[in-house]
Structure 1
């Protein structure tokens, strides 16, 4: 119902009930839908008309059959009062109709009629907000929801390049997460995580947080697309950051075709799947991570080739010696992959290039594993949270506490060593418990 229709109905209702006062409720509290600023001058016009009424504002309109002169005189006054009310209603109706037309006109016209400043929308406040929706974020949500803290999660929409659910949504078979003896698809597992969070009362927004201010309480958050607004869209007493990290990729020709069909960024996650067993595999990288993954893959591969861009390894001396001395490992220096080839379903070979001579050759390989680093999704927090040299959030050892009280970090965004779904879930539990205790100490009345 429009402002004009609602107000006019109230005027008529007042007349029917016998009240000549136009409205008993202040004008600025009348229900309306849109065009509020249009009606700034209307109250004074109608109240001016109402001021001409008889002093007896509570008289009733009735028909009397008495022949007493004094009674006739009272009836005459009542009829006059009724006529006055009818006139006022007619005037009000005309004014409100004009206002209604103005409210439905162009935005330019509305601004012309405007005499009231826009009302700022109040940010939505929560006790605790979770940013991120991988195993860490959802585990934290389940624990917090069961503690009646009513967590709010921003799961992101293609945040950090991933759909809601994070890296696992790009993974096929997950065989090393407890509770799934037959394995489970990564996307399906994250769907189950999400369902469990919702079951216990987590409010999930499929939106991305684009800006934060963690310098004062309550913490301020802006949803993506509204970062330029002076006022935040959301506030919270505690924030759990579970934005994850993404593996660096080479974007080779054929990479998209064979991603998770021969190409992976996690040997520990995917190395044991059947398509890699007793097959030649390749690892790209020259650091400790590459050395560790290559040695791990020797349990399943017929042979492992390590492709190193430079003429030496960056790995520590111990790891380098272990790699170079392993009978199932061959290190190819000054070598990079430049194309992935296969049968359209699975990877079968790699085109390699010598970084010195630029010559190319093709090598059989059923698997290619990137071990060239990860990028933590922490750009949102730079300058506010303490980050290490690689951009990961620093937490107090044995906890999820950051340098800002009330802000906690869980999952791959603070774990550069393990980077597993199960360890992420574990730190999500830790973050929830840390946040719950912190809220009990600092906001006991809201707990």
Structure 2
């Protein structure tokens, strides 16, 4: 493979071209800051992965000029409906949220990345592929990023700052010597995009609780109105869940009515960690997205938190490059790390609540949810938390 060489120097190197890395690049490009965005993959991932974009993230993306384009390509969901078997436990509505985006947007991650990339290219930026970082060296005044390209040829680029947006197994975080404190859940998760007949309305996300585990079904944009995201906890998931696997799971845990899986578009299994970086900054190296925090998919918070990280970090770096003191970057960790800790705590509570198995604890949970969510203030608070509007 022939790879276009990178420049020898730049102001900011961004490692990782997922949603966080792309967002940081857009913020820098809008401010006219020279940067280089690199990714180890030869082409961008084409699977849907994260599929939820919350109101606060849409507000942030609106400031970057792309919320409307993304919303036009997604499915707007106004309701979150919680069930135990055929019994309805709670309904959380987003329609009254104090925002220009009073809904949750369901859109595959590859579409989100495509919209972000289109905006970056409008601003004159691009993604350089494939470049694998091998070493990051803080040189007390600059930082050197060593890499190998697609032809396994070594190289290096020197920058004022480096953003590590390279995921949970971040080489940038590792090279900076930043710890990643936390643990993992014992359950494994099934993740699948399917075409199916599903008996509930397409303007709601359904969460189904059962002794066997929790299952979330969310409607993805689709002209035939048949495409859904399925996320489920199981004791031991198959490596690539099949149509029969998904059909049996939904038949056992889903609502009354016809459930017929017609096609599995993509499926995977994964184990979930809940971890937060001990620091978001080490000298001239800063972290964003999954490199800084990972947690349960409950509530669809992960990608949203990462995009919000990157938008703030890009803005702060632009101000520093324009002459503000370097100490301004300390604001980033002070603002964003407490938010990540809150998100990890929230999703951990949700995950443990969803995966209760004994009859007494499930009965207590169901009664509490049913009673509490009859109170309008509680419902509004839950919607506000899920939408991440508190992160303003």
Q: Scaled by the length of structure 1, what TM-score is found? A: 0.41
Higher RCO, 1 vs 2 (CA within 8 Å, ≥6 residues apart) = 2
TM-score, scaled relative to structure 2:
0.46
In terms of fraction of residues, the more strand-rich structure is 2
